[in-house]
Structure 1
C-alpha cells in the first residue's frame, strides 16, 4: 500500500504471534475472553462502518451532530501549524469536520490497526485536502509507537472519537490516556468523545441490532481465528449476546456456545460447555464527573467540554498540565 507504512516481515510475524498468544490465553482462561482490538481486520472494519449506519447505533449520529455544533469553538483552540493525530482513524469521517474548520492544521496523522481502512482514508483525504500533509501510521495505539519525525516539533492535537475509550476498563483507560500524553508530547491537546450513561432500552439495541450486523461483527472474530490460526470453529454454534452491566456501568458483548463442543486452535484443544461465553468487548458509559476524574488521574486537565443534553454524549478537550 503506497500511502501507509507497511509492516516488515518480522513485524507481520510478531503481530501474528501476538494474535495467537492472545487467543490461546483468552480461550484457555477460566472465564474465556478475546481482546476487542482484534475485531478490526479488513472484514471487521467494513462491518463496523455498516454498524455506524444502523438506526439503533446512535453513537455516530449523536457525536457527529455534537461535533458539527461545537467544531468552531474547538478549531479556535487549535494552534497554527499544528498536527492532528487521530487514534483508530477508520474511515476518518468525523475528521473532516475538524479539517474543514481548522485550515491552520498542517499535518494529519491517522493511526489504525487496519491497513485497508488506513489506506482508504489516507487516499481520500490526500485528494480532498491537497495542502494537508497526510502521514498514515499503521499500528496499535495501545502499544508503544512514535509519531512521524516531521510532526514532533509541531503543536499536536490528538483526536479520539467514537467513545472508543469506553472499550477499556477504568485502569486500562487511565493507562491509555497517560500513554497518549507521552505520545502526543508536552503541551498537547486531546479531543476525546465519551458516551454517557443512558437507559438500557437504548443501550442494548445499539449493540444487538435487529439486522444482525453487530452479531456478524462479533462472530467475525471466530472467522479470523479460523483463517489466521487454522481453526475450524463453526460460528453457527455460537450466538451473539449484548447485556447491560449496571454495576460496572458497561455494555458487554459475548459469544455464547450453543452446545458442548471442542475445537482445535493452533495445536491446542479448546472445550466449550453449552451456555459458556467468550467475553469479547466492554463499552463503558460515563458521567461528566466520572470522565473528568479519569482524565485527571492520567495527568490531563479538562480544558473544555460539551454535551448533548437531549441524547447524553460528551466531547472533552483535554490539555496537558503544561499546556
Structure 2
C-alpha cells in the first residue's frame, strides 16, 4: 500500500550551537554608531519575501533564472554522479529550484529524502506538504532553525548526502563568514558526500548595477521594507519617505553594496533600544553585500575549507557558477 503523504513529512528543531543574535542585538550593534548596518536576514518578512519573488521576475535580475536554467541542465548529471540518499538544503525557502533535482531522481529511478533547513516552520511545512504530494516517493524532514547557529545539531543521517547552498547566498557573507560556514559544512561531510554551491560571478558593472536597481523599483521597495520590519519589531519610528534605496558595485571589493540613504537630517527613535538615532542628510545604512567571484577565487575559497571542485557548471556567458565540491578531490570538469 502506498504510504500516505502526511506520514512522509516530519519536522525537527535544530538547536543553535553557536551564538545567534536577534534583531534587538543586531540593531544595537549595527545602528547606534556609524558606519551603520543591519544583516540582510531581516528583509524576509511576509512582504519582503513576496517582494524578493517579484525581484526574481524582473528583466534585470539575472541570478535566479540563470541558476535555475543551469540546474535544469545539470541536475541529471549531479544525481547520477552522486546518487544521494539525502539532500540537505541550507536556506531552502520554497524549494522552487530544488525540484529540478527531484525530477532528475524521478527520471533516474533514484529515491532520496529531503532535509530543508530554514527559520520559518510554517513555510517549511507548506512547501514540504506540496513536495510530498508532488513526489510520491519523497520523504521530507524539515529542519527548523538558523544555520548561522551552526550545523553540529543536525539530526544524524545514514548514507550519502548532497548538501545544497544555492542562490548565490555565499556572496552575502563576508570573507570570514564564508570561510567559517564552509569549514562547518566540511566538518559534517563524509567521503562520497557532495556540496552543490551557487555563486554569482564578476561581470560588467553595468549588468550588476541594473540587477540591483531595476527600473520598476521592486528592489527599492524590498530594501525600504526593512524599515517597516524595524518599526514593527523594535517599536521604531522610521519614515520610509525619508530614505532612498541605493545599490552600487564596489569594484575593489568585487561586491554589490546595498544601502538605505537618509534624504534629510533626521532623528529616529527606536523604542526597544530607548535610543534616538541622529542621521545626517546622505548618511547610509548598509543592508546587504553581494560578493561576486571569479572561478579562481571560488576554487580558492573551497580549497581553503578542505573541499575540491569535482564539477563546474556555468552558462556560455560565464555569469554564474554551480560547483559540485567534495572532501575527496577529483578532476574538475567544465560544463
TM (norm. structure 2) is 0.88
Residue number among 95, 112, 116 corresponding to 1:110 in the alignment: 116
**Hey, which bits of structure 1, 4+ residues long, moved more than 3 A?**
2-8, 114-117, 183-187
Change in Cα spacing, 1:116 to 1:54, as seen in structure 2 (3 Å) is farther
Q: Which residue of 1 aligns with 2:333?
A: none
Q: Indicate whether 1:83 and 2:90 are aligned.
A: no
Cα offsets for 1:25-68 (capped at 9, x unmatched): 10013200001122122222221111111111111111111111
Picking from 190, 194, 209, the partner of 1:189 is 194
Task: Say which of 93, 97, 108 aligns to 2:96.
Answer: 93
Q: Work out the CA distance in 2 between the residues paired with 1:164 and 1:46.
A: 18
Deviations 1:103-141 (A, max 9, x none): 424210111123443233212112111211101112211
Change beyond 3 A, Cα 1:164–1:105? farther
Q: Which secondary structure does the structure 2 equivalent of 1:309 belong to? A: coil
> Does 1:128 find its partner at 2:131?
no
How many equivalent pairs are there?
Answer: 315
Unaligned runs of 5+ in 2: 1-5, 331-335
Match of 2:227 in 1: 222
Matched, 1:48 2:55: no
Q: How does 1:170-249 map to 2 (within 5 A)?
A: 170-185=175-190, 187-249=192-254
- State the TM-score, normalizing by the size of structure 1: 0.91
Matches within 5 A, 1:1-323: 5=11, 18-79=22-83, 82-103=85-106, 104-145=110-151, 146-149=153-156, 152-185=157-190, 187-265=192-270, 266=272, 267-321=274-328
Q: Deviations over 1:163-193 (max 9, x none)?
A: 1111112221111111122344554210011
- Indicate conservation of the 8 Å contact 1:62/1:311, yes or no: no
SS at match of 2:261: strand
Structure 2 distance, partners of 1:235, 1:206, is 22
Report the CA distance between 1:7 and its aligned residue: 7.2
Q: Against the structure 1 CA distance between its residues 6 and 273, is the aligned structure 2 distance closer, same or farther, given a 3 Å change threshold?
A: farther
Runs of 5+ unmatched residues, structure 1? none
Residue aligned with 1:210, SS: coil
Alpha-carbon spacing, 1:147–1:29, altered in 2? closer, same or farther (3 Å) = same
Q: Deviations over 1:221-266 (max 9, x none)?
A: 1111111111121111110000010000011100001111111211
Q: Secondary structure at the match of 1:135?
A: strand
C-alpha contact (below 8 Å) 1:219/1:255 kept by paired residues = yes
Aligned-residue CA RMSD in angstroms? 2.3
Whole-Å separation in 2 of the counterparts to 1:259 and 1:221? 18
Distance in structure 1 (CA, Å) of the matches to 2:268 and 2:104: 52
Contact 2:189 2:327 in 1 (8 A): no
